[in-house]
Amino acid sequence: MSDDRTVEIEDYTAPAGGWGSMKSLVEISAREKVGPEVIRELARQNKPDGFACVSCAWGKPAHPHVAEFCENGAKATAWELTSFRVTPAFFEQHTVSELIGWKDYDLEQAGRLTHPLKYDAATDKYAACSWDEAFAGIGAKLKTYDPTKVIFYASGRASLETSYMYSLLARMYGSQNLPDSSNMCH
């Protein structure tokens, strides 16, 4: 797979942040079609009664300012709130072999998944399935492995509660292998 894009790097003498950052955030929000909800969510980002930034470890100060986020954190929140959706119809039109050739950016721009999916090797496509079928299939597959050889990779972006529940699942299964992006990717 080749990437034939050219990258041009220009000197940037304006301050980091400020109106240039606001303009960039507005452009990203418009492209993602997130609307005014991004403003409501950013007002809660990195606040004691809000949520942590999805892209970094910005602290939650006891006495926060109105904007407790950086430009990239705000963009990451806008990307999380995208209105683009990938429905089962998307996978009826595209094989996995075709999607492997797509750039990461294009895959992300397709949107967020709306249904659990199961791979069909005969058609080389994903097909929608019920949550019960998805979990039964995962459970059946896990039963075929030695628990000490299974790794439960977790996203560093998961909440504390989600990470805790995921670690309980791994330990009940018999695995202590719980790496996440903070010790694998950074």
Over residues 83-132, the pLDDT tens digits come to: 889 999 999 999 999 999 999 989 988 999 999 999 999 999 999 999 99
Q: Give a yes or no: residue 3 inside a domain.
A: no
User: What are the structure tokens assigned to 174, written together?
Assistant: 């018999």
- On whether residue 24 sits in a domain, the answer given is yes
Q: Does 105 fall in a domain?
A: yes
The string over 84-115, giving b where at least 16 C-beta atoms fall within 10 Å of a residue's C-beta and e elsewhere, is eebeeebbeeeeeeebeeeeeeeeeeeeeeeb
pLDDT given at position 33: 81
What's the structural domain count of the chain?
A: 3
Residue 174, pLDDT > 60, answer: yes
Asked whether the predicted pLDDT for residue 62 surpasses 60, the reply is yes
- Cα–Cα distance measured from residue 24 to residue 86, given in angstroms and rounded to the nearest whole number: 25
Q: Is residue 97 part of a domain?
A: yes
Mean pLDDT of 131-136: 97
131 lies in some domain: yes
Residues 6 or more apart whose CB falls under 8 angstroms from that of 44 comprise 50, 51
Query: Does pLDDT of 148 surpass 90?
Result: yes
Q: 184 lies in which domain range?
A: 145-186
Is residue 64 over pLDDT 70? yes
Tell me which of 80, 100, 123 is where a domain ends.
80
Query: Is a pLDDT exceeding 70 seen at residue 8?
Result: yes
- 7 inside domain: no
Q: What is the pLDDT of residue 156?
A: 66
pTM beyond 0.75: no
Instruction: Give the span between the Cα atoms of 34 and 38, in whole angstroms.
Output: 6
Give the pLDDT score at 32.
80
Question: Between 16 and 80, where is the model more confident?
Answer: 80
Within this chain, do residues 27 and 76 fall inside the same structural domain, yes or no? yes
153 with 181, same domain: the answer is: yes
**Candidate from 88-92, 123-127, 154-158, 168-172 with smallest mean pLDDT:** 154-158
Between 51 and 137, name the one with better pLDDT: 137
Same domain for 132 and 98?
Answer: yes
Look up residue 149 and give its DSSP letter. Answer: G
